Chain A
Amino acid sequence: MRPLGIVRRIIPCLDVDANVVVKGVNFEGLRIMGDPVELAARYEEEGADEIFLLDITATIEGRKTFLKTVSNVASALNIPLGVGGGIRNLEDADAAFKAGADKVSINTAAVKNPGLITMLSREYGAQSVVVAIDVKKQGNTWRVYVEGGKRETGLDGIEWAKSAEDLGAGELLITSIDADGTRAGYDVELYRVVSKVVNIPVIASGGAGGVKHFVEVLMYADAALAASVFHMGVINIQGLKAYLMEAGIKVRM
């Protein structure tokens, strides 16, 4: 169990394809959810603690549009903005920061070149470097997948989480591919195991469907990220936070 005195965070995540927010199930079947600036501003108003923008476009042209989207969202917000997807090197990270990111997350590039974690951490400080890890359960272990869940790496998720911390990551954003978009609840066991191994904040992602799921996972994770329940109006953030407070989980009201 993570110390309950620590204030937990609720983070709406916008998967962005160039300039629209989309959302899939188990990383597939994308549907359009809305405008990133409008959604981000609405979530801040509702009490979101920070916002994440993930670039899921694969083209160079799309990347440029995405950076423009980052800058539009950043200028509308008064809370922190995390940016991830497609960050391969120091230059990509720099472009994201210059566009208005307060922190960047790296995933595939960190697996390919773990030294990138250390490099970014030295330059920008660990607090601005998030390592994102996508895992699928296999028996009693979790396997790391990269390239948007398409390629298995052979890495063990828990061991990779520990290495990322040692290399200088300031936070981990761990997504269960099995749970993503299902609304069947977070993979609580995953975060219970990870939180015993690392001492940096862990953001849980994948599977949020109801307010109870947040209570379950925030016993072990420092923050919970979710997308479709917020986009589709299933859960209102203000209501969720009131519920968490009732359940004894400390949040900013």
Chain B
Amino acid sequence: MVKVGIINYNVGNLGSLINAFRRVDSEPIIINEPSELMSVDAVVLPGVGSFDAAMSRLGRFRDDLSKVRGSVPMLGICLGLQVMFEGSDEGSLSGLSWYLGRVSRLGGPRVPHIGWDLVRSVRPCEILDGNGYFYFMHSYAVINPGNDLPYSGITRYGDGNILSVLCDKRSMTFGVQFHPEKSGKRQGLEVLRHFIGFVRK
């Protein structure tokens, strides 16, 4: 069975993510130490807490994450996607800087952006089945992503386009701004199922 290592920032609820990965026939494991990255088939950066809270926990993981990136598939969820960029309006610590660009505060119409919204598929991606509704809960995002970024899903919110699906197959790195583990049995779990399918290949 595919072993999925979920990095623990020690804040918020990892229970739904653990349940969701079990439901798609994988074996979720909570990772507290960088050395544990070597013994899993996939790594998940979860979407709980705030930017600085997550980055201060991820500091110790930074080198080992870079080492396994490209050979071990990774999935960032919400905040876990945001930390892959250089920095965020939400905090003062720097991000993992795997991708150029910053995470900005949403402009509106309502902040935080909470609830179900439409992800528009703009390029094919292994983890996404075309357009669909997913559950968002966030105040920050990569807004109006440039064409140099490997995104495959965007979500219109107010005047801007949120980068809602990052799809970098070459580096085996994926990210979603929404919460697949909260987005229902069909749409949400399907994203995780596809990710596990990619890991198996």
Tell me, in angstroms, the Cα distance from A124 to B137 when the chains sit together.
Answer: 12
Contact B13 A9 (CB under 8 A): no
Residue B79 CB within 8 A of the other chain: yes
Contact of A7 among B11, B111, B116 (CB under 8 A): B116
Contact of A199 among B111, B116, B189 (CB under 8 A): B111
Residue A6 CB within 8 A of the other chain: yes
Residue B27 CB within 8 A of the other chain: no
The minimal Cβ–Cβ distance linking B96 to chain A, given in whole angstroms, is 18
Known contacts A79-B182, A171-B112, A199-B110, A127 near B15 by CB under 8 Å? no
Residue A236 CB within 8 A of the other chain: no
Contact B50 A124 (CB under 8 A): yes
Total interface residues on B, CB under 8 Å, equals 37
Known contacts A78-B184, A79-B184, A124-B49, A101 near B13 by CB under 8 Å? yes
Q: Please indicate the chain A residues that have their CB under 8 angstroms from the CB of B144 in the complex.
A: none
Contact A252 B15 (CB under 8 A): no
Tell me, in angstroms, the Cα distance from A3 to B185 when the chains sit together.
Answer: 29
Contact B15 A71 (CB under 8 A): yes
Contact A79 B15 (CB under 8 A): no
Seen from chain A, the residues whose Cβ lies within 8 Å of a Cβ on chain B are 2-3, 5-9, 44, 49-50, 71, 74-75, 77-81, 97-103, 122-128, 170-171, 199-201, 222-223, 252
Q: List 18 A-B contacts (CB under 8 A).
A: A2-B109, A7-B133, A44-B184, A44-B185, A49-B135, A74-B16, A78-B188, A79-B183, A97-B13, A99-B13, A102-B13, A102-B137, A124-B48, A127-B112, A128-B12, A170-B139, A199-B108, A252-B133
Name 8 extra pairs, CB < 8 A, besides A7-B115, A80-B137, A97-B11.
A44-B184, A50-B182, A78-B189, A100-B13, A123-B50, A170-B112, A222-B114, A252-B116
Seen from chain B, the residues whose Cβ lies within 8 Å of a Cβ on chain A are 11-13, 15-16, 19-20, 23, 48-50, 53, 79, 90, 108-112, 114-118, 133, 135, 137-139, 179, 181-185, 188-189
